[in-house]
Amino acid sequence: MSDPVPTRSVPATHSTPAPQPVDEVEAHGFTDYERAALRVRNVGCGGLGTGSGFAISDHVFVTNRHVIGGAAVLQVSTFDGHDIEVATAGAAVIADLALVWTKESLPATITLATANPGVGEKVTAVGYPLGGPLTTTQGRVLGYAPDPVGWSSVPMLVNDAPIEHGSSGSPLINDEGQLVGVVYASDGDRYAVPVETLLQVLNNPDNYAISANCDGVLGR
């Protein structure tokens, strides 16, 4: 993906506040949703891949199933460089989503919105593009369109917040600091799994399995 320069790039050790779309900012300079964002490294299938994720509870985070696909080892770290040990992972059946369970507590969590955002609403993507530092970019919801990857029959959220390789699994946040989508693809437009689809996965354990092949497709 070749995208515009991100509007904000924050090293994991940086503590100087910068403008945010949410009023509440932590004393040390990071919002809760930035503290909840995670860097994910997939070691396996003959190579190394990078992605992003975000915590939804003390021991569970969300990412993309293509980020964890075929992993022999998942290496996870927090905004301040702390390594997190993974317990197990499950890839979703209905979209490019995965849940990962950790052995230790995660530093912060993101609250999920109860409904998908409307066209024109402002959104913020928070992740680790190119496996680099924590980066925050802004955009707007452009609409909803068919899944370009073809893994889901549910319309996906289209937005224009700049992303790069490694942004997959990044949370898409609204102005209230709530999750409205999970970044997963770009073909000029940027696509995110809408929050209502994520809620379907979380509310029905049958919507995910425990393994994924190297291409991110569920193992049977």
- Residue in 78, 92, 101, 63 with CA at minimum distance from that of residue 183: 63
Sign of CA dihedral 1, 181, 66, 96: negative
Residue 43 lies in a domain: yes
Compute the distance between CA of residue 84 and CA of residue 105 in angstroms, rounded to an integer: 8
Same domain, 102 and 126: no
Per-residue pLDDT of the chain (220 residues; tens, 9 = 90+): 433 323 333 333 233 233 333 333 343 689 999 999 999 999 987 689 999 999 999 999 999 999 998 888 999 999 999 999 999 888 888 899 999 999 999 999 999 999 999 999 999 999 999 999 999 999 999 999 999 988 899 999 999 999 999 999 999 999 999 999 999 999 889 999 999 999 999 998 777 776 666 766 654 3
Rounded CA-CA distance 209/59 in Å is 18
In this structure, are 197 and 130 located in the same domain?
yes
Residue 1 falls within a domain, yes or no? no
- Domains in the chain: how many in total? 2
Q: Say if residue 100 is in the same domain as residue 132.
A: no
Both 194 and 127 in one domain: the answer is yes
Note whether 123 and 117 are within 8 A (CB). yes
Residue 179, CA atoms < 13 Å, CB-side half-sphere = 31
Asked if residue 144 and residue 100 are part of one domain, the reply reads no
Shared domain for 67 and 154, answered yes or no, is: no
- Core vs surface per residue 116-145: b (16+ CB within 10 A) or e: bbeeeeebbbbbbbebbbbbbbbbebeeee
Evaluate whether residue 4 is within a structural domain: no
Is residue 214 domain-resident? no
Q: Are residues 127 and 192 in the same domain?
A: yes
pLDDT at 210: 67
Residue 116 within a domain: no
Q: How far apart are CA 142 and CA 185, in angstroms?
A: 15
Report the pLDDT value the prediction gives residue 217, as an integer from 0 to 100.
Answer: 60
Q: Is residue 38 part of a domain?
A: yes
| 19 and 48 part of one domain | yes
Q: Are residues 96 and 17 in the same domain?
A: yes
Domain that holds residue 92: 13-109+203-208
Question: How many CB atoms sit inside 10 A of residue 52's CB?
Answer: 30
The answer to whether residues 50 and 84 belong to one domain is yes
With H, G, I as helix, E, B as strand and everything else as coil, classify residue 54.
Answer: strand
> Is the Cβ–Cβ distance between 101 and 86 less than 8 Å?
yes
Radius of gyration of the chain, Cα coordinates, nearest whole angstrom: 16
Question: What's residue 218's pLDDT?
Answer: 53
Q: Is 216 part of any domain?
A: no
Is there a contact between 209 and 98 (Cβ–Cβ < 8 Å)?
A: no
**Residues across the chain:** 220
- State the CATH number of the domain containing residue 47: 2.40.10.10
* pLDDT at position 187: 86
Distance, in Å, from the CA atom of 207 to the CA atom of 202, rounded to the nearest integer, reads 8
In a domain? residue 6: no
Same-domain status, 94 and 132? no
pLDDT recorded at residue 211:
63
Are 173 and 197 contained in the same domain?
yes
Read off the DSSP letter of residue 212: B
